[in-house]
Amino acid sequence: MRAHRHPAARVALGLLIPILLLALWQAQAEVGGARALAFVPLASIAAAFAELAASGQLLTDAVTTTSRALTGLVLGASAGVLLGIAMGLFRSVDRLIGPLYHAIRQVPLLGWLPLIGLWVGNGEAAKLLIVGLAAFYPTVLNTYEGIVHAERRNTDVGALFGFSRAQLLRHVLLPGALPLILTGLSQAIAFAWIATIGTELLLGAGAGLGATMSLAQAQQRMDVILVAIAITGLIGFTLNTLFARLRGHLLRWQPAIA
Amino acid sequence: MNVTTLFDTPAAASPPIDGALTIAGLSKDFTVGGRSLPVLDGIDLVVRPGEFVSIVGPSGCGKSTLLRLVAGLDTDFAGEIRLDGKRITGTDLDRGLIFQDHRLFPWMTLEENVGLALLNSSIPKAQRARIVAEHIALLNLAGFEKAYPHQLSGGMAQRGAIARALVTEPKLLLLDEPLGALDALTRIHVQTELQRIWLRQRSTMLMVTHDVEEAVYLSDRVIIMGAKPGRIRRIVDIDLPHPRERSLPQLHRLRDEILAELIQPVPTPGEPENLVRLPVREAM
């Protein structure tokens, strides 16, 4: 068995480069002068972390941002799956909405910010709308592809056993599309997380990791920014890992790729 | 094994009365590149209830298409197909179809796959689990109920497909090269099982195969089809009792006779017949 197959060895290997980067960081900080402003010493970052954690702000920010991301994700992804199914099942819906969807998809999300600000202001609704859209796009596309490219070999079997359209959808089309739907969802999670931080940065105000970053920038608190960045990365990584587990469970019927 | 011996003896059932297939004047065209191409031309065939009929013929003679039409998966054809006098206009649980690949849904366990066939059957829900278990046992798959298709060997998956096709107790079972993808040894095993099951269920069987020996071993009649367009060239009676011994000299003679017929070039109108004839093996 090769060394990195061992779980502990694998974790150690994954931590190798981050630790090297941190060492490099600390070295830069100790050079002093202008460098020290950009490369805050690790000790200061740890102090800022302790300060934010003690005041409860860090927890509030993390919870606010995570629940905002998940709310947007659930709204956007469920709308996306439903539209993807409708477009995949009914050619009329595909013809009616498909071109519009593909055109709108080309506009970067942040491009909508001014318009959305005008329509719904820059409060919670605007943030959720952006996050929801970020989750919506990849879900529609992948669900649609999964339904449309259902294999004839499977639909024939459904026909033989006299499945109705609803039975075909439930027992053949949806399970067949599940791998692609889950691919869409994992993209949606990544995009929703990025969009959440982005809208918080741009629309500021209130709690949230992005809002804290934005405020810290105005106050020139580099240490606080770095704490917020680290927590953002950590939560994003956790969400991804959890979803990968769920995906593995839902697709346990697939032969192992290894 | 218990199950095997239980079903080994042919049931002393009265001859089946259901499952009479009548095909009359059946023709089917495919449109290829804007041109109409005849695939089947004037097929007439009567299959008696409980009869085992095999179809052999060169690739492209339309034998798989014929099965799809009888199954009701394709309803665009000229002529008539009737099962027990009832005109076929689509799929129905009174007909089952087994494909060359098992086509079990990969996202369901064996048990769920077999059970799903009963989704629209009139069998009461309370009895379904028992019937599914019985059919899994009938195909010697007991113990693999919770296995996903990718965990089964090719032969086991195909037996699972046979269990799924039988669970609705179709009057007519269509088999489209059901054993074509199996290795030689597994194929012989599943052939023996097919014969055993057929002797027990006595549903009508219509099987397409490339394996003439398999056709002769299992069938009451073998239909030899010709290509371009697909039509029936000859029907060979295999007038031997079931279950049969593979080593019967009569079977070998019939196999050679059918092979000879298949190898023989058929003069097609417009084509010269001055082709070199390959020597045909002598009948043993």
CATH classification at residue A161: 1.10.3720.10
Phi, psi of B48 (to 5 degrees): -75, 155
Of all residues in chain B, the percent with pLDDT exceeding 90 is: 64
In a domain, A195, yes or no: yes
Asked if residue A245 is part of any domain, the answer here is: yes
> Quick one: pLDDT band at residue A203, thresholds 50, 70, 90?
confident
How high is the pLDDT of residue B278?
52
Indicate the number of domains in chain A: 1
Query: Does residue B213 have a pLDDT over 70?
Result: yes
Which residues make Cβ contacts (< 8 Å) with residue A104, sequence separation at least 6? none
Which residues, 6 or more positions from B266, have their beta carbon under 8 angstroms from its beta carbon?
Answer: B226, B233
pLDDT above 90 as % of chain A: 60
Nearest neighbour of A171 by CB, restricted to B92, B116, B168: B116
Q: Contact B119/A167, CB-based, under 8 Å?
A: yes
pLDDT at B9 over 50: no
User: Choosing among B105, B122, B152, which should be mutated to test the A contact, i.e. which has the most A CBs within 10 A?
Assistant: B105
Nearest residue on chain A to B102, judged by CA atoms?
A153
Residue partners of A94: CB distance under 8 A and separation at least 6: A87, A88, A144
pLDDT confidence tier of residue B14, bands split at 50, 70 and 90: low
CATH class of B21-263: alpha beta
Residue of chain B minimizing CA distance to A173:
B105
Provide the residue range defining the domain that includes A81. 64-250
In a domain, A40, yes or no: no
Of B99, B120, B148, the CB nearest to A162: B120
Give domain limits for chain B: 21-263
Q: How big, in percent rounded to 5, are the helix, strand and coil portions of chain B?
A: 35, 25, 45
DSSP 8-state assignment for residue B180: T
- Mean pLDDT score, A24-53: 83
Which of the four pLDDT bands, split at 50, 70 and 90, describes residue B161? very high
The pLDDT, as a whole number, for residue A101 is 92
> A62 to chain B, minimum CA–CA distance in Å?
37
The answer to whether position A93 is within a domain reads: yes
Q: Is the ipTM of this complex over 0.90?
A: no
Q: Is the pLDDT of residue A205 over 80?
A: no
Mean pLDDT of A89-111: 90
Q: Are B91 and A162 inside 8 Å of each other by CB?
A: yes
Query: Would you state the pLDDT for residue A258?
Result: 42
φ and ψ of B207, to 5 deg: -120, 130
B11 has pLDDT over 60: no
**pLDDT for the residue A117:** 83
- Confidence bin at B66 (pLDDT 50/70/90): very high
Q: Please name the residue of chain A whose CA is at the shortest distance from the CA of residue B174.
A: A160
Is the CB of B101 less than 8 angstroms away from the CB of A255?
no
**What is this structure's pTM?**
0.83
Quote the pLDDT of residue A202. Answer: 86
Bridge partners of B95, per DSSP, are B172
Question: How close is the nearest chain B Cα to the Cα of A230, in Å?
Answer: 39
Bigger pLDDT: B180 vs A146: A146
Residue B239 tokens, joined: 């007038």
With respect to residue A212, please indicate whether it lies within any of the assigned structural domains.
yes
CA distances from B89 to B77, B93, B98 (A): 10, 13, 19
Residue A5 inside a domain? The answer is no
pLDDT over 60 at A168, yes or no: yes
Interface of B with A (CB under 8 A): 71, 73, 91-93, 95-97, 99, 101, 103, 105-108, 116-117, 119-120, 148-150, 168
Residues 6+ apart with CB under 8 A from A11: none
Tell me, rounded to whole angstroms, the distance of Cα B158 from its chain centroid.
13
Q: Which residue has the tokens 């009832």?
A: B86
Domain-embedded: residue A160: yes
A44 assigned to some structural domain: no
